Structure 1
Amino acid sequence: MRVKLEDEQRQVAFGERLGRALGGEGRVYLEGELGAGKTTLARGILRAYGYQGAVKSPTYTLVEPYALDGQRIYHFDLYRLGDPEELEFIGGRDLFADDALCLVEWPARGSGWLPTPDLVVTLSLGDPGREAQLVAGTDHGDAVLARLARDAKLEFATIEQERRPS
């Protein structure tokens, strides 16, 4: 699925819709160059669960936990990760529990250690705004894309839907 996001407001709104479609669980990998809007999308996802505060990328702490109405959400930023094994030292296996929602920026830095993503969102700079490409990696990811397509088709230009090869 590809979605055009003309400005930051639309990107946050799309993140909220994505957050609702996720149903409070899953592993979402956020890819894209610096400044592509990974943290902005994470802010929208968090807003779907009632969080209204500022969202900053946890570049130095690696993970920022959120507990919202009993929902566990972990926002990872692996940009400064020296070695994927560092995730083991911060209790990563426990954080990636099935009943948590994990948002991971720069997932390639955790390659070989991270679990299979339910959804990969690749953000790219466009003119105007940005474009998000969403690819499912699991059955849960397929279900999220189906819910999102039904919910978002009136407001967002959906170009295509695809699944990442197994």
Structure 2
Amino acid sequence: MSSLPVSLTLIAKDEQVMTHIAQALAKFMPSKAIVFLDADLGMGKSFLTREIIRSFGYSGAIKSPTYTLVEPYHGEKQNVLHFDLYRLSDPEELEFIGIWDYLSEDAISFIEWPDKATGVLPKADLLIEITDYEAGRQLVFTAQTEQMQQTLEQTRQWLSKHKDVIHLTTDFK
């Protein structure tokens, strides 16, 4: 494997493509990881996370953790913790919700607005940046660990074999 970090850039023209990206990523995610999602309001952080959670077999309602800070989901295939730190006024609040207990669970933790807890959160295994791109979104996945590097490579390979289902512009470096 090449040296870290390694990134994969994908262009999603609509929500259907975002769903396919989420499904592909979910196929290769490890059982435990910390994923930071960085994007402006309304760019698709919660949508992408929700679609990944559904890909893991969770069939119930998936609500945004904007007011609760964290929502746990226990799916057939994977446990997920979805954090939304947008309303966090002080990183110390994470101690009150038991952040370290959550992060010690065998689960993938998706953390929106991680910059609100700088200095408190551990390093992410995967960074996902979402920005506007023409009429859709550009998603940049950056692996911070070798395990996530493998996840991105497997995701890229799977997506490249399914161009009949999903048409993406990809860049892997």
Please confirm whether the aligned pair reaches a TM-score higher than 0.5, indicating the same fold.
Answer: yes
1:129 alignment partner in structure 2: 136
1:82 alignment partner in structure 2: 89
Amino acid at match of 2:15: E
1:19 alignment partner in structure 2: 26
Secondary structure of 1:51's partner? coil
1:7 alignment partner in structure 2: 14
Choose which of 54, 60, 70 in structure 2 pairs with 1:47: 54
**How far apart, in 2, do the equivalents of 1:23 and 1:138 lie?**
11
Please tell me whether the aligned partners of residues 9 and 139 of structure 2 are also in contact (alpha carbons under 8 angstroms).
yes
User: Counterparts of 1:57-136 in structure 2 under 5 Å?
Assistant: 57-69=64-76, 71-97=78-104, 99-136=106-143
Please tell me whether the aligned partners of residues 39 and 55 of structure 1 are also in contact (alpha carbons under 8 angstroms).
no
In terms of mean alpha carbon deviation, does 152-161 or 55-64 score higher?
A: 152-161
Tell me how far 1:69 sits from its aligned partner: 2.5
1:145 alignment partner in structure 2: 152
CA RMSD of aligned residues (A): 1.5
Residues 94-151 of structure 1 deviation map (CA, whole Å, 9 limit, x = unaligned): 1112621100111111111111111000001111211100101112221211111111
Q: How many aligned residue pairs are there? A: 161
Unaligned runs of 5+ in 2: 1-7
Tell me how far 1:67 sits from its aligned partner: 1.1
Please tell me whether the aligned partners of residues 28 and 120 of structure 1 are also in contact (alpha carbons under 8 angstroms).
yes
Identity of aligned residues (%): 39
Which structure exhibits the higher relative contact order, with contacts defined as CA atoms closer than 8 Å and separated by 6 or more residues?
Answer: 2
Residues 73-113 of structure 1 deviation map (CA, whole Å, 9 limit, x = unaligned): 10000000111111111111011126211001111111111
Secondary structure of 1:150's partner? helix
Q: Which has the larger radius of gyration?
A: 2
Note if 1:158 corresponds to 2:170. Answer: yes
**How far apart, in 2, do the equivalents of 1:101 and 1:159 lie?**
25
1:164 alignment partner in structure 2: none
Amino acid at match of 1:148: T
Tell me how far 1:57 sits from its aligned partner: 2.1
Query: TM-score normalized by structure 2?
Result: 0.87
Amino acid at match of 1:125: D
**How far apart, in 2, do the equivalents of 1:28 and 1:45 lie?**
12
Tell me how far 1:65 sits from its aligned partner: 0.5
Unaligned runs of 5+ in 1: 162-166
